[in-house]
Amino acid sequence: MQALPRPITQDLVLIGGGHSHAIVLKRLGMQPVPGVRVTLISDVSHTPYSGMLPGYVAGFYEFDDCHIDLQRLCRFAGATLIRDQAIGLDLQQHRVQLANHPPRRFDWLSIDIGSTPAAMVPGASEYSIPVKPISQFLATWDRIVTEIAQQPDRPLRIAIVGGGAGGVELALSVQARLQSLYRAAGLKQSPLELHLLHRGPRLIPERAAWVGRTLGQILTDRGVVLHLQESVTSIMAAGASARKICCESGLTVECDYIFWVTQAAAAPWLAKSGLATDERGFVLVNDRLQSLSHPYIFAAGDVATMVDYPRPKAGVFAVRQGKALDQNLRRALQQQPLRSFVPQKEFLILIGTGDRRALASRGGLGIGPHALLWRWKDWIDRKFMRQFSDLQPMQPAPPASPGNLPHSSPEPTPTMPCAGCGSKVGSTILEQVLTRIQQQQPAPMRSDILIGLDGADDAAVVTVPDGQVLVQTVDHFRALLDDPFVFGQICANHCLSDLFAMAAEPQSALAIVTLPYAAAPQLSETLYQLLSGAVQVLHQAGAVLVGGHTTEGRELALGLTCNGLAAPDQLWRKAGMQPGQALILTKALGTGTLFAAEMQLQAKGRWIETAVTSMQQSNQAAATCLRQFQATACTDVTGFGLLGHLLEMVRASQVAVELDLLALPVLPGATETLRQGILSSLHPQNLQGAQQIANLDRVQTHPLFPLLFDPQTSGGLLAAVPAEQAEACVQALQALGYSYSRTIGRVLPLQGQAPVVVLSETGVPC
């Protein structure tokens, strides 16, 4: 007898991928809480570890060395990653308001979004670069490094505002890295002008005076201009790209870049949400890391202020709070008493000097700078990061029995889920979800929909205008990622692509949904998020959802029957390919191998992020563009892979083709995962098409050869256009946002019964 499915009865939502939440996710992956669905909301898929930021700036670490891959961590933890920015809370409805998603419901909430430097002077927001959020600062820093590598003799002026430990360590790292670049370029004299401004009389006032004196002397010896007791009053533009810092004393400093590293500030939406906050907007929490005003909300890291144990905003406290936060979240979910957490009063800091040396300070004691201290700091930081990089798929937790699951609603959990019509989702849930969707996303006005969601009839009714035909297609698949809203978008784009590939205009759609077993509030939330994503894409395409069917099962799945309208003589058919034409592909390949790798914790989060962005892109504009350039045949590249779908066109058109392997567009990371031998489960079946390749013996060892058989989800369009139109068509597609569009081959006359595909390796348009 199969084990009972584990119903979802509570939603734990984590806002922010800070150090505390990273630790919580790791521990949840090692020991899940039965019946709890965990969701992480983060506007980045790789969260930087602040302790290694100066080392990255100095050039000692690569990106992956000092970033926690939240995509992999969430997969390990069995959590859903929502790539979006939280912008508010609806505390009455228990919902997180997001910038690009529908509101997200929660039973328990934890906040760990860090802080940003307080830009309290005019012009700071417009003309300076805050060091937090770190991800934004690093994007600017990487651009500076690239520019210097390309033009090392160009004068460069940088100012850093803030003389605390963060600002001083940043100045040391910036100076050391840029000087190394200048030396590598053979420059005898540095074109760098680096300023450090601080309002106090000494650097790093939070530490013993000798720390500031020692590091100040090092900065001066390296040519950094120190401006102590200088209060910045404004920042303004000083030409096309220059900036001017104005100080209370009358001092002005012109520079190209200004890095802002001052006192921390909180996100404004926290105080506006109704949470109890301190005078700077940080969430007030007790010694259990629980909000003083809303006990079902927790906070940790820089964003939290412990009223009984106030501490500086430092990463060391976020790391120490991680274990305590995990314990109390578990206890809250299981309705157990919470435990107090008392942070240490004194803490050690190790400040790198940008030259593989570091200074150590704790209380009034300290030593350095010394190379051994840097090695110690490096060991500590790498040890912390290893717990998030050395991830192995965990064995599934034993199924929870309904009797010991925590409940967020009084509704009983059935001992055995029903089958047949008993597995349907209740009418009350459906009505609530559809009402919310119709209120937030009004359907396009279509006179050809006679009966749709607004009626209670047993079926939808649509009309077909005179002179047009109804084009129908259906597709259905399990969720390949945990964000139901994004999955709904991807599935709708995938299903609509069949209509675009036949030059049809979308009209309506029916949905069939399988929702994981859950209590009513969780069922409602999943269905709302899923249909919101699908309906958004349908509406953007000019179509409406007119009905469907819902059921409960072991995992999330969605399918759509899509209807479209077309003029019979304008339809694209696979049989329309003609010798001499060029083959154009509008999207990159690789989703199959990338998501196979993601399931094995072998894919980097940024690879998956790029793949998701590709799958969210509609093929509608591409189809219109291909029509303008006289395409005569088209298909969408999906489950059968590029070669499988191409063979369908070749056979129908009675032609042969030449494909250029080196011209194939490839999603970032797909080449690496193919090299590791990570393939989709459908790949072996697709590989059977290789027998149609004439020069198989010569090309089957090529690194990109497996890409021909990689199944795609929401892949691009493959079209045949006149050869003389191909270059202009590709340029037009790229201008529309299909940046991976390529000419990948040409159509040839068929020669008897020989294999119909020839592979070349030129890398130039055919």
> Phi/psi of residue 487, each to 5°?
-60, -40
Instruction: Give the C-alpha separation, 153 to 191, whole Å.
Output: 6
> What are the beta bridge partners of residue 449?
462
Q: Is residue 530 within 8 Å of residue 484, measured between CB atoms?
A: yes
Cα of 667 vs its chain's centroid, Å: 15
Residue 421 annotated as catalytic: yes
**Nearest alpha-carbon partner for 498 in 563, 427, 402, 435:** 563
Give the sign of the dihedral formed by CA 405, CA 411, CA 414, CA 417.
negative
Given 255, 421, 491, 729, the catalytic residue: 421
**Nearest alpha-carbon partner for 60 in 382, 315, 361:** 382
Instruction: Give the C-alpha separation, 40 to 734, whole Å.
Output: 33
Consecutive H or E run containing 611: helix 605-616
Classify 394 in phi/psi space as left (phi over 0), alpha (psi -120 to 50) or beta. beta
Per-residue CA distances from 208 to 45, 218, 360, 364 (Å)? 38, 17, 11, 5
What does the DSSP assignment read for 409-436? SSPPPPSS---GGGGBPPHHHHHHHHHH
User: Which amino acid belongs to residue 298?
Assistant: F
Tokens (6 digits) for 323: 């274990």
**Nearest alpha-carbon partner for 759 in 664, 706, 670, 694:** 694
Residues ≥6 apart with Cβ < 8 Å to 371: 356, 357
Per-residue CA distances from 279 to 162, 282, 284, 493 (Å)? 21, 8, 10, 47
Q: Is residue 15 within 8 Å of residue 111, measured between CB atoms?
A: yes
Q: What angle do CA 687, 693, 695 make, to 5 degrees?
A: 125
What does the DSSP assignment read for 536-587? HHHHHTT-EEEEEEEEEESS-EEEEEEEEEE-GGG---GGG--TTPEEEE-S
Tokens (6 digits) for 622: 């591409």
Tokens (6 digits) for 281: 């907007």
Instruction: Give the C-alpha separation, 278 to 304, whole Å.
Output: 9
Q: Is residue 90 within 8 Å of residue 72, measured between CB atoms?
A: no
Catalytic residues: 421
